[in-house]
Structure 1
Amino acid sequence: MTTTSDRPVLVAGAWDAGAHDTWIPVLDPADLRRVVARVPALDAADIARTYDAAEAGARSWRAAGPLERGAVLLRAAGLLRERAADIARDLVLEMGKTLAEATGEVGKAADFFEYYGSMA
């Protein structure tokens, strides 16, 4: 991430910046003068809507069969691996991790998704 980017939240499958278009800066922990991204400042109504969507998603997940769940986890693993370089770079900028550590974490997360996805 070379420029500041807005990072809305994912609510019910759609990216959402909240009702008020107010943003909070995410600072580079290695240089607190550098803004690496912005996240929405959600108000109580935004958060309630997000929780309601999560609850609906949990009901849908519970209703899904094991093969469907496994397919979702395997797809998530594939997306993590496909986007590993970008995700690792974001982890470095947003959390101050080393690139090696961040890359390892992305790979390990993909490993977990693959493991549990294959259990179906």
Structure 2
Amino acid sequence: MTTTHTILAVALSLVFLPLGLAKTAAVPFMRQAAAHLGMSPGLYRVIGALEVAGAAGLLLGLASVPLGVAAAAGLAVLMVAAAVVHLRHGDPPVQALPAAVLALMAVVYAGAAIAAG
């Protein structure tokens, strides 16, 4: 395990865990975001649960590399999908940028985890 691998796992988890929990709890801000994107609160809760599971998988990946790589791959796919949804909904590209950056960070994490062995 490398320092890069550990820092990315913690940083990504610190982003995905609170956002995922807010989505699963359906806090007002997240309900508004779901409505803006034309998603049901139920679907947004599922996305939140996937984010929480991904954050947990990243942290567990510090002990089990394959689990961390799988979690990072899942989060990368989820974030690419999020960026696409924002763009298809007509949002300006700057609103899709955070999801794209998180997807890239998840891919870098996976690469660092694989390189660390």
Tell me which of the two structures has the higher relative contact order, counting C-alpha pairs closer than 8 angstroms and 6 or more residues apart.
Answer: 2
**Same fold at TM > 0.5:** no
Q: Give the TM-score taking structure 2 as reference length.
A: 0.42
More helix by share: 2
Q: TM-score, normalised by structure 1?
A: 0.41
